[in-house]
Structures are given as structure tokens and as C-alpha cells.
Amino acid sequence: MKHMLSLMDWTTEELRSLLALSAEIKADPLGRFDALTGKTLAMIFEKPSTRTRVSFEVAMNRLGGQAMFLSPNDMQLGRGETIEDTARVLSRYVDAIMARVFSHETVVQLSTGSVPVINGLSDALHPCQALADSLTLTERFGDVRGVELAYLGDGNNVCHSLINAAARLGIRLRVGTPAGYEPDPAIVAAAREAGADIALTTDPREAVVGAQAVYTDVWTSMGDEAEAAERVRVLEPFRVDATLFAFALPDAVFLHCLPAHRGDEVTAEVLDGPRSVVFDQAENRMHTEQALLLTLVDGG
């Protein structure tokens, strides 16, 4: 059973096919309207979402299927039914499960059912975001392979999936984080083992110099709220403002997974500027997820 828990579960060829299918779908979004007729996607959200929830629901609709929003608090899951039992029961009803969870282990346990499971963000990874980002970079640069991308800020779930994209899709990644906020060394090591070109630094300028694309994410991820004040203090030098962005190439683009906090991790000038592609990234969530659903549920 194929899942999308991590980009590392997919080969380079599979991911490149997925991106090619995403571009085809983007050019003709209703071209496969009957592909998933009668099929249902269960969507479990332990955390809030705008893009993930809406893009997956619209993606299913555009394939002729349906998506169902499930809040754990309204399920027996919230009263102690095990994740494995939930997965087995849902597998009898639906054709795929997408879940946004606190612990990555939860999506792993959900994948013990008998339908494909998609990680819609865990504390460790956000593979669907990195897929949309890879399509966005492909559109801008002709190919995602070899693109010099600087990621600044917290070495979090979004950063980890970009590291995986570096391993599988050949993004050349420089990660700039404060000490103590580096990405998980095991994820970096596995990516390097798979041939990824990844540089780590605690100097934001060093990360950005000469980059073709500069990416940042919120300083306080969902679940980290108790550390918000400390994070603002430590991450402040990593704010992407016009001065820092100017160290990148003159035509470099700016990326952010959104939601953004103008004035914290990025200034309004950069986020709303002419080289920002953040709304292309958001749109591309839908096209890449449509391709992912087709591939997982219908075999492509």
C-alpha cells in the first residue's frame, strides 16, 4: 500500500511523474472529472488549517469524489478509541485518509489500515507543502533540480520536507537557523546519504548569498505556542527583510508556506513584493494534491 507520509517513501522518478501530472492537471483542472467518482477522502484535523483543508476538498471535488472533514474531538478517537482501530474502521468506508496531526507517529499508525494515508502535516514533516513548492520552483526555473534554495528560520516540519525534496528532487538547499533550532540531524543525515546537497549555517546572510529562492516559515509552529516569546527573540536575525533578501540573486523569488506573520519572519515589503510566489505555492497545493490523490487512489 502506497502512502504519502514522507517524500522519502517515494523515488525520484515517482515524484517527478507526480510533478508532471500536477502540471497537466493545472493546465486542465477538470480534465479528469470522473476519475474518482464515488470515492471518499476522510480528512482528520488535530490542528487548524485553511490551505490543506480547502485544497484537498476541492481536489477531490474536481476528480468527481468527495472529502469528509473529521475533528478528533467529535470522534471516538477523542474518547480513547485507538488510532489503529480508527484506521481499520475508516478503511471499510473510505478510499483514502488525509490527516494533520501533532505526533508523526499518528500518521504512521493510521497507515496500518488498508487505504492510502496522506500526511497533511505532522510535527516532523509537511510533504504536501514541499510538493507544491517543488512545482512552484519548476514553474519559475524550468526544473526543480539544481535550484539554489535558502531556507531561513526554524528547522521545523516544513524545513524537513524541503530537506527531503533536496534528496529526492535535487534542490540545492542552504538552511540558516539559530543554534538550537537546527533541523533534525537524522533527517539531514538520511538526505545526505541519499545524495542531497545541503549546507547548514547559523548565519542568515551566508545561507542567502547567491540563492535563487529564499524560503521562510512561521517562527512559532502549531503546538509551540508556549515558546512564542523566546522564539521571537532568538529568530529575529532570520527575518527576511529587503536587506537580507538583497543578498540573494537580483531575480530571486521569495517563498513561504503560509500562513505568514508580516513583521515577524518576513516583512510585508518582501511578502507582498513582486518577487513573492507565495500565492502560487498556495494554489499549487491543489494541483499537486489532485495528482497525489489520482496516483494513490486510482493508480495515476
Q: Which residues bind ligand NVA (CB under 6 A)?
A: 121, 156-158, 217-218, 221-222, 257
Q: Is 126 a catalytic residue?
A: yes
Q: Is 257 a catalytic residue?
A: yes
Q: Is 128 a catalytic residue?
A: no
Element at 67 (helix H, strand E): strand 66-70
User: Among residues 91 and 221, whose Cβ is nearest to ligand NVA?
Assistant: 221
Quickly tell me which residue has 490523490 as its cell: 293
With CA atoms as reference, report the closest residue to 184 among 204, 200, 207, 160.
160
User: Among residues 95 and 217, whose Cβ is nearest to ligand NVA?
Assistant: 217
- Indicate which of ligand CP, ligand NVA, none lies near residue 50 (CB less than 5 to 8 Å, by partner kind): ligand CP
The minimum distance between CB 280 and ligand CP, in angstroms, equals 13
- Indicate which of ligand NVA, ligand CP, none lies near residue 218 (CB less than 5 to 8 Å, by partner kind): ligand NVA
Quickly tell me which residue has 528560520 as its cell: 153
The minimum distance between CB 146 and ligand CP, in angstroms, equals 25
Report how far apart the first and last C-alpha atoms of the chain are (Å, whole number).
14
The minimum distance between CB 51 and ligand CP, in angstroms, equals 4
* Amino acid present at 43: M
Burial of 217 (0-12, 13-18, 19+ CB in 10 A): buried
Q: Find the catalytic residue in 217, 239, 256, 264.
A: 217
Q: What angle do CA 149, 176, 263 make, to 5 degrees?
A: 90
Q: Is 100 a catalytic residue?
A: yes
The minimum distance between CB 27 and ligand CP, in angstroms, equals 23
User: Among residues 7 and 35, whose Cβ is nearest to ligand CP?
Assistant: 7
User: Among residues 158 and 213, whose Cβ is nearest to ligand NVA?
Assistant: 158
| Cα–Cα distance for residue pair 218/48, rounded to 1 Å | 15
With CA atoms as reference, report the closest residue to 49 among 23, 67, 30, 28.
67
| Cα–Cα distance for residue pair 284/63, rounded to 1 Å | 16
Q: Find the catalytic residue in 16, 104, 126, 239.
A: 126
Hey, which residues are catalytic here? 100, 126, 129, 217, 257, 285
